[in-house]
Amino acid sequence: MGHPPRKSGSDKSKTGKPTPRTGDGENADTRPAFRRGDMPDREAILRFLSENPDRASKRNIAKAFGLKGDTRAELKDLIRELEDEGLIERDRKMLRRPGTLPAVAVLEITMRDSDGDLIARPAEWLEDHGAAPKVTVRQSNAGRERGKSRSPSIAASIGDKVLARIFAAPHGKGMSYTARIMKILDRRDGLILGVYRSAPGGGGRLMPIERRGEEYAIDPDFTGDAKDGDLVEVETAKLGRMGLPRAKVHAVLGSVEGEKAISMIAIHSHGIPHVFPAEVTAAAENAKPAPLSGGREDWRHIPLVTIDPHDAKDHDDAVYAEEDPSPDNPGGVIVTVAIADVSWYVRPGSALDREALKRGNSAYFPDRVVPMLPERISNDLCSLREGEDRPALALRMVFSAEGRKVGHRFHRVMIKSAAKLSYQQAQAAMDGNPDDKSGPLLEPVLKPLWNAYRVLKRERDRRQPLDLDMPERKILLTPEGKVDKVIVPERLDAHRLIEEFMIQSNVAAAETLEKRRQPLIYRVHDQPSLAKQEVLREFLGTLNLSLARGAAIRANAFNGILAKARGEPYQDMVNEMVLRSQSQAIYSPENMGHFGLNLMKYAHFTSPIRRYADLIVHRALVGSLGLGEGGITPAEEAALENIAAEISTTERRAMAAERDTVDRLVAHHLAGRLGEAFDGRVSGVTKSGLFVSLPQFGADGFIPVSTLGLDYYHYDEAHQALTGEKTGLGYRLGDGVEVKLVEVIPLAGSMRFEMLSEGQKMPKGTRSFHKSGRARRGTPKKPGTRPPRGRR
């Protein structure tokens, strides 16, 4: 998308002298070179955003360039064009260049340089942006920005996770970053996790457990009891001017081959808190059961049931349904959902609350769960156990026969779950195979639930949320913690029933709080950017599929594409590309709707045991509806933007750790099978080579383009293909291929393959696409680096 030429302005200030630029990231005079009032060109806007991340809003851009009146509207159009072209991206109200750091970011301090300065890297960084930038951290005075000259400094150390203000300055071909710490989010006591490798002459080295980690030398006097191959924690020592940084073994956690090592590596490397402080554990142990008083209603007579995975240890939600007896709503249903009342036990500002916010959510691994709350709370007092009194925040929702909601109301109650059922158990009963527990519940409880689901499904079918067919794989482990097998759990109506009841509950929570004008945290999912839509549209065109154009695209437009691809050889390829085109769902105090679910108002409410966002929504409901103690406080309301940013970060942290654990488990499992052939599918195409997934194991590896053969390969983004220049043969996203495993790096969770399958004849015009380019040959890309993945 082009843009008409604009005046770029002068390189001088109003005085006629060149604008000074000191080159220092924090103190530089970064005023743009322009003549005030003139509309800047695209390059000037991009340069300003790069050099001024702390002032990168539309309002500040207009102020910096002296734009008023019509030129402000013109600036808005230009910014929209740059967004659509993918040249800038929006982070709430701030704008930034892709691959640059925002004005405020969460950093992980990883090492010291030779001058003793702390060096950090961003806690979140997309792999398709290249290597994460290093940031020099300044141990500055925390109060100086507020005009307090005597405030104590914030002293951070290696391993800490900090919230920092970022300062950028041009440096060579890129940007140089410095940071000033605003808040320490997580202290790691300066300990670093790695694998100890002994050296022949004594001592050894600490090998990093993540791709971007540093390697350390360990002197013979500082190895402790570590043996070759042990997973160890080390303390870092002061760096010398030459050679590797040095470290001292602090603790030995056991062999890296042990059953608990794999998930511990991910937990440690992603900074997930996994040990509860003593005061948090004490607060949980001293908690008393909630009383049936203070306005709490007695709903223990209602036969609510929990329906969860068979191995679930905590139960957030219980459900019940019945026909609506009102003659004004023929064929209608009443759905009752009760959610654990965590807000009664976890009060704002308490030790339990601070730790829950720090964790943000529970993290789930094949061999363990790292809970957001101690077991006394999550698995006992708040878990809706069968036959035991438990406090809950509940709502009754009334739906018409067409599935449209007539009304809803929240209550604070005491319930007693009538039964704990698994998804498979409930489904089997409905399919005619009840057992001793589900049989007596079939007529009074299960059949009314399924009837209510059929009613709600009518409205869901009309709403048409995004319907991606991306089955999730589950790793089953042996008792020793090794990979046994990878399965794709069957998707049952029981799963869909609970999912739809929870979605409707989340909608009701958002609607109630909006009606009360109560600040809250929404779960938002923005529509795909126009740039991503265009990439997808060009790709679909190669399959003779079309995607409607327009800024106000709806989820059902993607569903039409997915339906046409169903049953075709390219079905998986289309599902993958549609997924990659989607934005990432986040938490925000500002509502922008949920594109994937096709809902205007949506807030997470149904899982307060494992998500902090839901706890905030519970507190907001308790406070705004006058339901008793534990409501939201003014301080929390004022901090919702920061809380939303923190829990969005912890959610992505948990997902990355869970994914890395699966990769490492599979890599360890296959480490002894070098040279074997496997059936795979091309899951990603880049200029550097092909990513191939192994459906049997749910993991992927890399094939460098330099190993594909003697031909030169061209990368075609539209066709998602690598095509040989001489032969015209190549490989496309979604192709079934046979590969040989030639390298495994278990600690990094990465694998490298060799292609055994012949390339296929590429469609006509594949190599003529304007973004095609000759693929690089020579140094192979490091195995295991993933293609970009979208997430809803």
Query: What is the per-residue pLDDT for 773?
Result: 46
For residues 791 and 655, the answer to whether their CB atoms sit within 8 Å is yes
Per-residue pLDDT for 512 more than 50?
Answer: yes
Average pLDDT, the chain: 83
Give the number of other CB atoms < 10 A from CB of residue 149.
Answer: 7
For residues 366 and 263, the answer to whether their CB atoms sit within 8 Å is yes
- Helices and strands in the chain: count of H runs, count of E runs: 17, 35
For residues 163 and 122, the answer to whether their CB atoms sit within 8 Å is no
Least confidently predicted of 178-192, 304-318, 397-411, 450-464: 178-192
Beta strands 297-298 and 405-416, pairing class: parallel
Coil, helix or strand at residue 17: coil
For residues 100 and 762, the answer to whether their CB atoms sit within 8 Å is no
The model's confidence at residue 4, banded by pLDDT at 50, 70 and 90, is: very low
> In whole angstroms, what is the distance from residue 196 CA to residue 227 CA?
7
For residues 521 and 481, the answer to whether their CB atoms sit within 8 Å is no
Query: What is the per-residue pLDDT for 735?
Result: 86
Query: What is the per-residue pLDDT for 166?
Result: 84
Coil, helix or strand at residue 779: coil
Residue of 700 and 146 predicted with greater confidence? 700
Segments of 499-603 assigned E as strands: 522-524, 586-588
Query: What is the per-residue pLDDT for 329?
Result: 97
> In whole angstroms, what is the distance from residue 263 CA to residue 266 CA?
5
The model's confidence at residue 503, banded by pLDDT at 50, 70 and 90, is: very high
> In whole angstroms, what is the distance from residue 308 CA to residue 166 CA?
44
The model's confidence at residue 124, banded by pLDDT at 50, 70 and 90, is: confident
Residue of 57 and 381 predicted with greater confidence? 381
Structure tokens at 144: 């100086």
Amino acid residing at 165: R
The model's confidence at residue 35, banded by pLDDT at 50, 70 and 90, is: low
> In whole angstroms, what is the distance from residue 649 CA to residue 664 CA?
22
CB neighbours of 295 closer than 8 A, spacing ≥ 6?
Answer: 412, 627, 628
Residue of 223 and 70 predicted with greater confidence? 223
725: left (phi over 0), alpha (psi -120 to 50) or beta: alpha
Beta strands 729-732 and 204-208, pairing class: unpaired
Backbone φ and ψ for 538, nearest 5 degrees, come out as -65, -40
**Nearest residue to 476 via CA among 361, 349, 374, 365:** 365
Beta strands 246-255 and 216-218, pairing class: parallel
Least confidently predicted of 79-83, 377-381, 687-691, 703-707: 79-83
Query: What is the per-residue pLDDT for 10?
Result: 37
Per-residue pLDDT for 790 more than 80?
Answer: no
**Nearest residue to 176 via CA among 44, 24, 33, 20:** 24
Beta strands 586-588 and 677-686, pairing class: unpaired
For residues 699 and 750, the answer to whether their CB atoms sit within 8 Å is no
For residues 669 and 482, the answer to whether their CB atoms sit within 8 Å is yes
Instruction: Give mean pLDDT, residues 21-25.
Output: 37
First and final C-alpha spacing in the chain: 27
Instruction: Give mean pLDDT, residues 453-469.
Output: 94
Per-residue pLDDT for 114 more than 50?
Answer: yes
Per-residue pLDDT for 154 more than 80?
Answer: no
> In whole angstroms, what is the distance from residue 460 CA to residue 615 CA?
27
> In whole angstroms, what is the distance from residue 429 CA to residue 439 CA?
7
For residue range 584-602, what is the model confidence (pLDDT) as tens digits? 899 999 999 999 999 999 9
Instruction: Give mean pLDDT, residues 76-82.
Output: 80
Segments of 279-342 assigned E as strands: 297-298, 305-308, 317-323, 333-340
Residue of 711 and 320 predicted with greater confidence? 320
Instruction: Give mean pLDDT, residues 78-93.
Output: 74
Coil, helix or strand at residue 463: helix
Residue of 144 and 515 predicted with greater confidence? 515
> In whole angstroms, what is the distance from residue 767 CA to residue 777 CA?
17
DSSP, residue by residue, 83-101? HHTTSSEEETTEEE-TTS-
**Nearest residue to 417 via CA among 518, 334, 302, 571:** 302
Question: What residue spans of 431-483 are helical by DSSP H?
Answer: 447-463
The model's confidence at residue 767, banded by pLDDT at 50, 70 and 90, is: very low
The model's confidence at residue 788, banded by pLDDT at 50, 70 and 90, is: very low
DSSP, residue by residue, 148-198? -TTPPB----TT-EEEEEEEEEEETTEEEEEEEEEEEEE--TTEEEEEEEE
Q: Which of 81-90, 355-364, 567-576, 649-658 shows the highest mean pLDDT? A: 355-364
Q: Which of 270-279, 392-401, 669-678, 681-690 shows the highest mean pLDDT? A: 392-401
Per-residue pLDDT for 178 more than 70?
Answer: yes
Query: What is the per-residue pLDDT for 139?
Result: 64
Instruction: Give mean pLDDT, residues 157-171.
Output: 77
Residue of 209 and 608 predicted with greater confidence? 608
For residue range 270-319, what is the model confidence (pLDDT) as tens digits? 888 888 999 999 999 999 999 998 889 999 999 999 999 988 889 999 99
Q: Which residues pair with 407 in a beta bridge?
A: 398
Structure tokens at 245: 């940084």
Per-residue pLDDT for 145 more than 60?
Answer: no
Query: What is the per-residue pLDDT for 53?
Result: 67
Instruction: Give mean pLDDT, residues 140-155.
Output: 46
Q: What percent of the chain has pLDDT over 90?
A: 43
- The b/e string for 415-448 (b: 16+ C-beta within 10 A; e otherwise) is bbbbbbbbbbbbbbbbeeebeebbeebeeebbeb
Cα–Cα separations (whole angstroms), residue 554 to 466, 468, 578, 595, 783: 9, 14, 13, 7, 37
- Angle, to 10 degrees, between the axis of helix 571-581 and the axis of helix 555-565? 160
> In whole angstroms, what is the distance from residue 609 CA to residue 372 CA?
7
Cα–Cα separations (whole angstroms), residue 279 to 349, 374, 380, 758: 13, 11, 19, 62
Segments of 172-286 assigned E as strands: 174-186, 191-198, 204-208, 216-218, 230-236, 246-255
For residues 183 and 213, the answer to whether their CB atoms sit within 8 Å is no
Q: Which residues pair with 252 in a beta bridge?
A: 232
Query: What is the per-residue pLDDT for 328?
Result: 96
DSSP state for residue 445 in the 8-state scheme: I
Per-residue pLDDT for 458 more than 90?
Answer: yes
| Maximal C-alpha separation, the chain | 89
Per-residue pLDDT for 36 more than 70?
Answer: no
The model's confidence at residue 62, banded by pLDDT at 50, 70 and 90, is: confident
Q: What percent of the chain has pLDDT over 70?
A: 84
Instruction: Give mean pLDDT, residues 149-178.
Output: 69
> In whole angstroms, what is the distance from residue 521 CA to residue 413 CA?
24
Query: What is the per-residue pLDDT for 232?
Result: 87
Residue 569, classified by CB atoms within 10 Å of its CB into exposed (0-12), middle (13-18) or buried (19+), is exposed
Structure tokens at 309: 């995975």
Residue 170 has, within 13 A of its CA and on its CB side, a CA count of: 10
Instruction: Give mean pLDDT, residues 498-517.
Output: 98
Instruction: Give mean pLDDT, residues 147-165.
Output: 64
Query: What is the per-residue pLDDT for 142?
Result: 40
For residues 283 and 207, the answer to whether their CB atoms sit within 8 Å is no
Residue 531, H or E segment: helix 530-541
**Nearest residue to 747 via CA among 682, 673, 666, 681:** 666
Instruction: Give mean pLDDT, residues 214-243.
Output: 82
> In whole angstroms, what is the distance from residue 513 CA to residue 731 CA?
51
**Nearest residue to 427 via CA among 336, 364, 489:** 489
Beta strands 305-308 and 419-422, pairing class: parallel
Q: What is the pTM of this model?
A: 0.76
Instruction: Give mean pLDDT, residues 200-212.
Output: 80
Query: What is the per-residue pLDDT for 664?
Result: 86
Query: What is the per-residue pLDDT for 38?
Result: 73
Query: What is the per-residue pLDDT for 502?
Result: 98
Query: What is the per-residue pLDDT for 298?
Result: 97
Owner of token pair 């961003």? 122
Give the number of other CB atoms < 10 A from CB of residue 471.
Answer: 13
Instruction: Give mean pLDDT, residues 672-690.
Output: 91
Amino acid residing at 10: S
- Per-residue H/E/C for 126-159: CHHHCCCCCEEEECCECCHHHCCCCCCECCCCCC
Query: What is the per-residue pLDDT for 169?
Result: 72
Owner of token pair 């490091």? 782
